[in-house]
Structure 1
Amino acid sequence: MKLDKAARRLSLDPRDPVFYADPYRAYARLHAEAPAVLWEEYGHPVFLAHADVNRLLRDKRFGREILHVATREELGLPEPAAHTPRFDAIDAHSMLEREPPVHTRLRTLVNRAFVSRRVEALRPAIADLAHALVDGFPSGAPFDLLAAYATPIPVRVIARMLGVPEAEAPRLLDWSHRMVAMYAFGRTREVEEDADAAAGAFADFVRGHVAQRRGHPGDDLLSVLVAAEEEGARLSEDELVSTAILLLNAGHEATVHALGNAVRTILETCGATGVDPRALFRDAATTERTVEECLRFDPPLHMFTRYALTDVEESGFSLRKGERIGLVLGATGRDPRANRDPDRFDPDREAPAHTAFGAGIHFCIGAPLARLEMQVALPILFERCPNLALAERPRVRDAYHFHGLETLMVRT
C-alpha cells in the first residue's frame, strides 16, 4: 500500500492477498489520513467515510447509469464488447443498473414481494430449513459450513419466493458465481466469455419458467412479474428476465457471505473472550443487535460505483460527466467518526452505523429478507451446535468487491 497523503493518491492492488484477506487495516489508515482518495488501480476517486458514502449514495448528481444523459461518442466510451452480448443484455435491463424513471417503475413492481408482512411470513420456513440442514451436519469430522449451511438457506429461500424449483439451486449457484465474476478487479477475457455463457443459460432457464407461468400462474414473484408484463408497458420480457436473474443473484450472493463472515466473527471473538455464542441471541432484541453488528463489522459488499451525471466538484476532485467514483461500503462501519472503537466487535453496540445495504433509491430491496435469514439462521446454528468451533483458519476469497470466505471449516 502506497499512500501520498498530500496528493490524496493511493496505490493498492485489490488482488493482493494481504489486502483482500483483511482490508480493514488499510481502511483504518485511510480513515485517519485520506478518507477520500484517488485509487490509482481503479482510476477514480473513492470515498470511505460513513458520512460521505451515505451522502453520495443519495446524491442525484451521481447515478448507476450514464447513457440516459449522454452518448458513447460524447463520453468517448467504446462500443459494447462483441463477446459479451448476453451478459450485456441482462445488465442493460437490470434494476440495479437503471436510474429513474425506469428504476422507479421496476422497483415498484418488485417491492410488493419484499413488504414486511410477506418477508416475515417466511420465518417458519427459514427455521425449518435451518433445522433440517443442521440435522444433516456430519458428526466427528470437520466440514465446510458455507456449503452445508450458509449457502443453501438464501438460495433456496429466494428460489422459493420466485417460484423456481429449489432442486435447481446448484445450477443457479453456478450461473450466479460465473456472472458475478464480471465485477471483479482485473477480470480476463476468459472470465468474460464464461460469464456471457452463464448469462445466456440463465436467461434461457428463466424464459422457460416464464412460459410456464403464462398458462399456470402461481403465488410467487415470477407470476407477479409475468402478470405485469402481460398488462403491457409496465414490464417487458427482457426486463422480466433481468429482474428475475438479479433477484436470484443478489438474493443469495451477499447473504451467503454475510452469514459466513458473521459465523467466523462470532467464533473468533467468543473463542478469544470465552463468551458463549448463545448469549448473543438471548431474545429478539439481542439477536437484532448482533446481526447489525456483524453487518457493520465484516459486511459482504465492499465497493459500489457511481457515474457523475454532470461535470461536478466533489471533495476537491474535479469530475467530468461520465467519470466514476467508488463508494467503499465495506469501510463505513469501521469509520471512527461513526462508530466508537470501530475495530472491536461489540454485539451490545446500540444502533451500529453502516452501509452494508447501501442507501438512497438503490438501497437493497432484499435487506429485510437478508436480515431475517440471519436473525433466524444464526441463533438456530449456535443453539443446535453449542460446541461449534473453527477447524482451520478461514480462507478469504480473491474477490475484493464481494468480501467473503472460500471455505469455513468447522467441527461440532
Structure 2
Amino acid sequence: MIRHSLSVSQDPRDPEFVQDPYGFYAERHRASPVFYWEEYGMWCVAGYDQVNSLLRDRRFGRENRWGAPLNPAEGREHLADFDRIESGSLLEREPPAHTRLRTLVNRAFVSRSVERLRPRIHALAHQLVDALPGDKAFDLLPSFATPIPLTVICELLGVPVDRADDLLGWSHAMCEMYVPQRSRETEVRANRAAANFGAFLTAHIEEHRHTHADDLLSALIAVRDTGEKLTDDELISTCVLLLNAGHEATVHQSGNAVKTILDQGGDPCRFFATPEATTATVEEALRFDAPLHMFNRYAYEDIDLGPVILKPGQQVALLLGAANRDPSAFEAPDKFRPGRADQKNVSFGAGLHFCIGAPLARLELQESLAVLFSRRPDLKLSQPARYRDSYHFHGLERLMVC
C-alpha cells in the first residue's frame, strides 16, 4: 500500500459514507482535490475543472491494455462470459474500435432522434401514475422510476418488454461487479447473468432478424449481416450495454431527484411551472445528487497530476459526484438551486466517452418528474430514504412515499 502525505482512508462501505459521501468530498476539497484513496489503491481527482479536463484527455482511456477484459489474467476463468461481453463493449474500448461501435448506435440517441419519444414517455408516466396507490405508502422505485427507462430502452432497441424482470435481474447482477470488496459469489452470479443475458439476446437476435422491424436492433443486425462493421460478440455486447446503461443510471437519478425535491419542502410544482423550469430542475438534480460517482481511466503515458506522476497502466478515479459539489466551481454547492448561474455538471462524463444516452435520460427525467408532481403534488416521504450500499453507484434502496 502506498503511504503518502495525501493518502486517505475511507471505507466506501461504511454506512455513514454510503448515506452521505458529500461530507467526505467536502473535506477532500479543503485538503487536496487530488489524493490517494487507500481502500481503492489508486489516485483520485475531486475538483470540477480537473475532472472535466481529464475526462477529455486522450492520454487516458477506458481500455485496460494490460488486463481484463481484453487480456484476462489467470484466475478469471469463472468470469469468462462476463469478460466476453465486457471486451466487446464500446464503454471499455478506445479508438478505432470505440469510434466504429459508437457511430453505429449514435444516430438513435442524438437529441433530435429521442425528442420523438417525448409523447410516449409522457403517456407512460401518466399511465403509471394512474396505477399508484392513493391511500397507502408505496415504493416509488419499482412502481414508477424503473418502468419508464426500462420500457423505453426495450422499445427503442427492439427487445420484448415482457422480459423486463429477467433483464433487471441480469443487469443488477452484472453491475455488482463494480461494487468494492465484491465476493467470489458476486463474481459467479455476475458471470451467470452475463451468460444468460447473452444466450437470450443470441436467440432473440436470430428471431428478430426476420421481422424487419423499425428499431435499433434491426439496424444493428443489418450491419452485422454485411460482415463489415460488427461482429456477433460486439452485437451482443452493444445490446447488453444499451439495455443496462439505458435504465440503471436513470432509475437511480429519478429516485435521487424525487428525494431531493421532497426534501426542499413546499409545493414541488414550483420546480416544474414551465418547460424552462423543468429543464433547469433536472440539470440541478443531475448536479446535486448524481447516480454515478466514480469513473476510472487508465494512463497511457507518464502524466503529471500535480502531487504524483502516473505511469502507463495506472488507474485514476475521477470522482464525478465530488466534482459536482466543488466550491471553487459552484456557489453554495450543497444548496439545491435550479436555474443557478453556474449550472454545469459532469454526471454524464465528457469527451470521447460522454454518455451516449444523455439526451434520452434528460428527456425521461423531464417528462416523468413533471407528470409525477403535476398529478401528485401532495406526495411526501413516508419514511426516511436510504441509499444502497453500492458505491460508486449512488441510488436509493427504496423510496417509500404516500
Residue identity (%): 53
Counterpart position of 2:47: 49
**Displacement after TM superposition at 1:116 (Å):** 1.9
1:9 and 2:7 are equivalent in the alignment: yes
Equivalent residue for 1:347, pick from 333, 338, 346: 338
> Is 1:24–2:22 an aligned residue pair?
yes
Letter in 1 for 2:303: V
Partner of 1:153: 148
Alignment of 1:13-412 (within 5 A): 13-67=11-65, 78-79=73-74, 81-271=76-266, 276-411=267-402
Distance 1:77 1:41 in 2: 23
| Number of residue pairs matched by the alignment | 399
2:39 and 2:161 mapped to 1: Cα distance?
40
Measured in 1, the distance between the counterparts of 2:321 and 2:212 equals 40
Give, as a single letter, the amino acid of the residue that structure 1 aligns with 2:158: G
| Counterpart amino acid of residue 23 in structure 1 | P
Shift of 1:315: 1.8
- Contact (CA 8 Å) 1:114, 1:368: kept in 2 or not? yes
Aligned mates of 1:116, 1:72 — CA distance in 2: 36
Is the 1:289–1:351 Cα contact (8 Å) retained in structure 2? no
Letter in 1 for 2:24: A
Question: What is the DSSP-based 3-state SS (H/G/I as helix, E as strand, rest coil) of the residue aligned with 1:126?
Answer: helix
- Structure 2 residue runs without a partner (length 5+): none
Residue 6 (structure 1) shift = 7.8
> How far has the Cα of 1:84 moved from its partner?
0.7
Residue 342 and residue 14 in structure 1: after superposition, are their counterparts in 2 closer, same or farther (change >3 A)?
A: same
RMSD: 1.7
| Separation in structure 2 between the aligned mates of residue 312 and residue 293 of structure 1, nearest angstrom | 32
Task: State the shift of 1:279 in Å.
Answer: 0.9
Work out the CA distance in 2 between the residues paired with 1:66 and 1:256. 28
Letter in 1 for 2:277: T
3-state SS in 2 of match to 1:38: strand
TM-score by length of 1: 0.94
Please give the alpha-carbon distance, in whole angstroms, between the structure 1 residues aligned to 2:163 and 2:320. Answer: 31
The DSSP-based 3-state class of the residue aligned with 1:122 is helix
User: C-alpha offsets along residues 164-222 of structure 1, whole Å, 9 cap, x if unaligned?
Assistant: 11111111111000000000000000000000000000011111121012222211110
Displacement of 1:5? 12
User: Are the counterparts in 2 of residues 262 and 298 from structure 1 also a CA contact under 8 Å?
Assistant: yes
Q: Give the conservation status (yes or no) of the 8 Å contact 2:331–2:342.
A: no
Greater Cα shift, 208-217 or 124-133: 208-217
Shift in alpha-carbon separation, 1:251–1:351, aligned structure 2, 3 A = farther
Q: Distance in 2 between matches of 1:6 and 1:311?
A: 19
Q: 1:340-381 CA deviation, whole Å, 9 max, x = no partner?
A: 000011123135121000000000000000000000000100
Distance 1:232 1:77, change over 3 A: closer
Distance of aligned partners of 1:80 and 1:318 in 2 relative to their CA distance in 1, 3 Å threshold: farther
CA distance in 1, matches of 2:81, 2:72: 19
Distance 1:290 1:398, change over 3 A: same
Instruction: Read off the aligned partner of 1:243 and give its amino acid letter.
Output: T
AA matched with 1:197? R
**2:330–2:342 Cα contact (<8 Å) kept:** no
Instruction: Classify the secondary structure of the residue corresponding to 2:209.
Output: helix
- In structure 1, runs of 5+ residues without a counterpart are none
- Listed one character per residue, the Cα deviations across residues 112-170 of structure 1 (whole Å, up to 9, x for unaligned) are 11122220000010011100100001121100000110011000100000111111111
Distance change >3 Å, CA 5–CA 262, structure 1 → 2: farther
CA–CA distance in 1 between the matches of 2:282 and 2:331?
A: 18
Please give the secondary structure, in 1, of the residue aligned with 2:290.
coil
Shift in Å, 1:318: 2.1
Q: Which runs of 4+ in 1 moved over 3 A?
A: 76-80
